[in-house]
Amino acid sequence: MARNIKLRIWRGDSTDGGLKDVVVEANEGEVVLDVIHRVQATQMGDLAVRWNCKAGKCGSCSMEINGKPRLACMTQVASFGEEETITVTPLRAFPIIKDLVTDVSFNYKKAMEVPAYEHPANLAPGEARMEQIDVERSQEFRKCIECFLCQDVCHVVRDHEENKKSFAGPRFFIRIAELDMHPLDTLKNRKKTAQEEHGLGMCNITKCCTEVCPEHIKITDNAIIPMKERVADIKYDPIRWLGTKIRKREGL
Amino acid sequence: MSGVFSPTRAKIKERTLRTDKWWLQPLLTFSVLISFVIYATFRAFENDNYYKDHLISPFYSPCLSEACVPEATINGFTPVSAEILNFALSPALIILIFPLGFRMTCYYYRKSYYRSFWMSPPACAVAEPHKKYTGETRFPLIIQNSHRYFFYAGLVLNVILTYDAVISFKNPEGEWGHMSVGSLVLLVSSTMLWLYSMSCHSCRHTIGGRLKNFSKHPVRYKLWSWVSVLNHSHQQFAWFSLAAVAFADIYVRQVASGAWTNFYFF
């Protein structure tokens, strides 16, 4: 059954902006992205909003709904109270372009800084074989849809613009973890660079990235903390360090 | 102006637009942890009421000081002087650094106290009050990387506290095969400590997490899988074990001071 709901939508650009109140019809089963589209179609023709699949798989419609980073296409209108005003703003960690659209190019720059997988020199393409149990652990990280909600909520850059140059963010820590746990990756010093170049040590594991992940990837428990422990192996554990020097091997 | 108020970001004056009770969780965490810290500090310095009829408080075990009640020691092993610089050293102060260090560097407690004590951040998508942030890259927070060493020390303490729980199955006359409320309390306390330790992230890493090839280490992979299951509940074990240890100490204190009688089932 259709009902009218109250929305507050942030409108503006890099020079100025503010929250605008609007009342719009919402039908049963609709999500926030549906009602934003209805506002765009009926009341605010020039409202800028980024979207694509409407199925929670493309990661385009990331925004903040009642202050929480979420996918608008996966947020049911019915999850809010009937009298509640739903406040919709752009992601607050990235530069604003217009209305609900932000410039997320920070993430693409960081993606380019992560060294790619390095194949063993003695294995020709097609010769590589891996056991399922070796693949499973990093498969979880491949679920990432690059919505960048984790990057948005991470206080290291959200609350400290100056850290952006030295901090890759949770999305790229899972990428680094995925590669470091890859049985065939031969790149040396991935752990060292994770700490010294990508800012792993800046993370204080407050788990907000895990809380907002729409794919329910255990970013902190399965990627960041294991990477912190791997870094401790080579940088902060003298006994372990000595062991690797004697046995001459980095990983097992 | 930095953070969410940076010039390039959307101009929103509120630190957060969250409408839920985001402050409740850090407030509860702060209240419980500060209560525990105050109680533990009082007990660590009290230097009394920690032993009665084969029940020893987990705060005072192992009792390593020359000033320990003889029955509370492990076969009379007391390598530490009763006084240091004319200051009567409570036996609890000698050993509490290890469980304290284990919990302070624990990945779960770090989340808890960074949020509730340091407000870094107080909750997700709630702007923190600090102007600068360097995370765990500098002293003193770089010490958090020593968590595994406190984990190893914690395992030794767990063995001793389990031994204490076993010893509590004696009656006041020293005969085996008797169980009291105190035995149960110490048994629950030591069990919770084992669960907390075995679900630890450093344990998960040490036992198999550091491997690149699970398929080449099937036994360690199996162990890692089991620890991973426990690891899902590490937060719960952290709180349950804290509560169990605190209650065990309160119970022993009350029994030792004569306020409560330790009831024997058989």
Q: Indicate the residue type of B56.
A: I
Q: Total structural domains in chain A?
A: 2
Is A252 domain-assigned? no
Using the 3D structure, point to which of A70, A102, A134 is the last residue of a domain.
A102
Give the dihedral sign, CA B184/B189/B190/B191. positive
Tell me the residue range of the domain where A82 lies: 3-102
Residue numbers of the domain that contains B252: 17-257
User: Distance between CA atoms of B46 and B36, rounded to whole angstroms?
Assistant: 15
**Selected residue of A229, A234, A249 to mutate for chain B interface (largest B Cβ count, 10 A):** A229
Residue B264 lies in a domain: no
Domain annotation covers residue B6? no
**Structural domains in chain B (count):** 1
A96/A230 Cα distance (integer angstroms): 37
Same domain assignment for residues A112 and A98: no
Taking CB atoms and an 8 Å limit, are B145 and A232 in contact across chains? yes
Walk along chain A (252 residues) and give the pLDDT tens digit of each residue: 799 999 999 999 999 999 999 999 999 999 999 999 999 999 999 999 999 999 999 999 999 999 999 999 999 999 999 999 999 999 999 999 999 999 999 999 999 999 999 999 999 988 999 999 999 998 999 999 999 999 999 999 999 999 999 999 999 999 999 999 999 999 989 999 999 999 999 999 999 999 999 999 999 999 999 999 999 999 999 998 888 778 766 555
Residue A91, φ and ψ in degrees, nearest 5? -60, 135
A18 within a domain of the structure (yes/no): yes
The enclosing H or E element of B231 equals: helix B218-231
Chain B residues 78-137 within an 8 A CB cutoff of chain A: 107, 110-111, 114-115, 120-121, 124-128, 130, 132-137
In a domain, A44, yes or no: yes
- pLDDT at residue A244 in the model: 78
Q: What is the pLDDT of residue A28?
A: 95
Q: Does B239 reside within a domain?
A: yes
A81 and A187 within one domain: no
Separation CA A54–CA A72 (nearest Å)? 8
Same domain, A124 and A162: yes
Region B11-16: what's the mean pLDDT? Answer: 96
pLDDT of residue B1: 62
Q: % helix / strand / coil in chain B, to the nearest 5?
A: 55, 5, 40
Chain B residues in contact with A221 by the CB 8 A cut-off are 201, 231
Question: Given a cut of 90, is residue B105 above it in pLDDT?
Answer: yes
| pLDDT at residue A32, as a whole number | 98
End-to-end CA distance of chain B: 69
A10 token code pair? 């942030």
User: What CATH code is carried by the domain that includes residue A47?
Assistant: 3.10.20.30
Of A120, A133, A70, A203, the C-alpha closest to B120 is A203
Q: Does B9 touch chain A (CB under 8 A)?
A: yes
Task: Say whether both A153 and A82 belong to one domain.
Answer: no
Whether this prediction's pTM lies above 0.90 is answered by yes
Q: Which CATH number fits the domain that encloses residue A118?
A: 1.10.1060.10
Mark whether A156 and A231 lie in a shared domain. yes
Output b/e per residue, A63-89; b: 16+ Cβ within 10 A: bbbbbbbbbbbbbebeebeeeeebbbb
Structural domain contains residue B196: yes
pLDDT of residue A122: 93
pLDDT of residue A166: 96
Peptide bond into B62 cis (omega under 30): yes
Q: Which among A19, A106, A159 is the top mutation candidate for probing chain B, defined by the most B β-carbons within 10 Å of its own β-carbon?
A: A159
Alpha-carbon span A14 to B144, nearest angstrom = 40
pLDDT number for residue A169: 98
Indicate whether A229 and A163 sit together in one domain. Answer: yes
CB of B32 closer than 8 Å to CB of B131: no
